[in-house]
């Protein structure tokens, strides 16, 4: 069964009454299967982050539907959306969004506490993911005592602790140096392969996209094209992503010249 089904999704913003409206997404449709690792790429302002916000129910679409495991989540009430997010969505942000007044252990357990579940009920899984993510030895430290890579690993653990159906990552390597970014991408691959997680990754990085199973390219709020990795080695898929990005940039430049 398809995990995520996006149907003719549209999002239009109007700053104020009488102002010109701006369409961030325009009738986008695609599906994501359980266990897929999908990258979303495109120029700034293409609608990538808006798409994640809609899937996470942090915003409501102007029109269209979003189905998760067959349920139309666009029909949820505001209160139900909050519960839905806490139970089904794990979000990894570029700026980590860890709470400085909580230590690592408390930051990871926070979604469990917000779901009114006792942390003890997830103790075994907590130990598993903190060990696999390489942060079991920093649980009593605070975010300001950690490196950027360690903070991103803590953010990943927090996203995983509820065992969500879908992990959404918005430019998760954007604040990391190239070495740390590569290690984190290897970590995401491990999460995808060993924990069978479904991941939707928004990125500008060709390197990050080359770790994925599929890359969906968006431009002007619409799907430009998509490519699949299949059995291609990573370096070959990297080159394939680069060629599409180049073609997209040329298309944008030609449009500007008209």
Choice between 103 and 174, residue whose per-residue pLDDT is larger? 103
What are the backbone dihedrals phi and psi of residue 218, each rounded to the nearest 5 degrees, phi first? -120, 140
Identify which of 228, 162, 233, 239 has the alpha carbon closest to the alpha carbon of residue 195.
Answer: 162
pLDDT at 93: 87
- Among 116-120, 133-137, 181-185, 191-195, which stretch is predicted with the lowest mean pLDDT? 116-120
* 174 phi, psi to nearest 5 deg: -65, -25
Cα 198 to chain centroid distance, Å, stands at 10
**Assessment of whether the complete model's pTM goes beyond 0.85:** yes
Largest CA distance in the chain: 62
Give the model's pLDDT for residue 141: 97
Give the mean model confidence (pLDDT) for residues 37-49.
93
Q: For residue 189, with 0-12 CB atoms within 10 Å meaning exposed, 13-18 middle and 19 or more buried, which class applies?
A: middle
Q: What is the pLDDT at residue 19?
A: 67
Q: What is the pLDDT of residue 57?
A: 94
Q: What is the span of the domain harbouring residue 9? A: 4-257
Give residue 90's region: left, alpha or beta (phi > 0; psi -120 to 50): beta
- In this prediction, residues 140-167 reach a mean pLDDT of 93
Residue 182: both structure tokens together: 């590569």
Q: Name the helix (H) or strand (E) containing 247.
A: helix 234-257
Instruction: In whole angstroms, give the CA distance from residue 2 to residue 18.
Output: 41
Q: How far apart are CA 158 and CA 172, in angstroms?
A: 14
Does position 216 have pLDDT exceeding 80, yes or no? Answer: yes
Number of structural domains the chain divides into: 1
Task: Dump pLDDT digits (tens) for 89-119.
Answer: 999 988 889 999 999 999 999 998 888 777 7
- Quick one: which of 164, 198, 160 has its CA closest to 31? 198
3-state secondary structure of 214: strand
Please report, for the domain that includes residue 249, its CATH number: 3.40.50.300
pLDDT value at residue 14 = 82
State the number of CA atoms in the 13 A half-sphere of 126 facing the CB: 18
At 251, the pLDDT band (50, 70, 90 cuts) reads confident
- Looking at the predicted structure, is the pLDDT value of residue 258 above 70? no
Closest listed residue to residue 220, CA positions, set 27, 33, 79: 27
Establish how many alpha carbons lie within 13 A of residue 182's alpha carbon, considering only the half-sphere containing its beta carbon: 3
% of the chain beyond a pLDDT of 90: 67
Assign 17 a pLDDT band (cuts: 50, 70, 90).
low
Instruction: In whole angstroms, give the CA distance from residue 57 to residue 88.
Output: 11
Average pLDDT value for the chain: 91
Residue 246 has a pLDDT of: 95
Q: What is the reported pLDDT for 187?
A: 86
Residue 231: per-residue pLDDT? 95
Per-residue tokens: 50:
């808006």
- Say yes or no to pLDDT of 121 above 80: no
Dump the DSSP string for 25-62: EEEEEEEE-TT-EEEEE-STTSSHHHHHHHHTTSS--S
């Amino acid at each position: 069964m398809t995990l995520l089904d996006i149907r003719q999704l549209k999002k239009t913003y109007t700053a104020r009454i009488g102002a010109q409206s701006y369409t961030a997404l325009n009738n986008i449709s695609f599906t994501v299967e359980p266990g897929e690792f999908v990258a979303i790429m495109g120029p700034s302002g293409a609608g990538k982050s808006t798409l994640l916000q809609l899937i996470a129910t942090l915003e409501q679409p102007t029109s269209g539907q979003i189905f998760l495991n067959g349920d139309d989540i666009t029909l949820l009430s505001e209160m139900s959306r909050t519960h839905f997010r806490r139970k089904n969505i794990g979000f990894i942000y570029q700026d980590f969004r860890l709470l400085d007044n909580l230590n690592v252990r408390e930051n990871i357990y926070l979604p469990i506490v917000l779901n009114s579940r006792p942390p003890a009920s997830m103790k075994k899984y907590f130990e598993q993911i903190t060990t696999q993510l390489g942060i079991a030895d920093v649980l009593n430290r605070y975010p300001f005592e950690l490196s950027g890579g360690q903070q991103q690993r803590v953010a990943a653990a927090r996203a995983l602790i509820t065992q969500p159906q879908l992990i959404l990552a918005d430019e998760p390597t954007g604040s990391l140096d190239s070495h740390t970014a590569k290690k984190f991408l290897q970590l995401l691959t491990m999460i995808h392969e060993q924990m069978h997680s479904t991941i939707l990754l928004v990125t500008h990085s060709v390197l990050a996209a080359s770790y994925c199973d599929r890359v969906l390219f968006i431009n002007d709020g619409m799907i430009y094209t998509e490519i699949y990795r299949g059995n291609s080695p990573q370096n070959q898929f990297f080159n394939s992503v680069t060629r599409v990005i180049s073609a997209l940039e040329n298309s944008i430049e030609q449009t500007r010249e008209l």
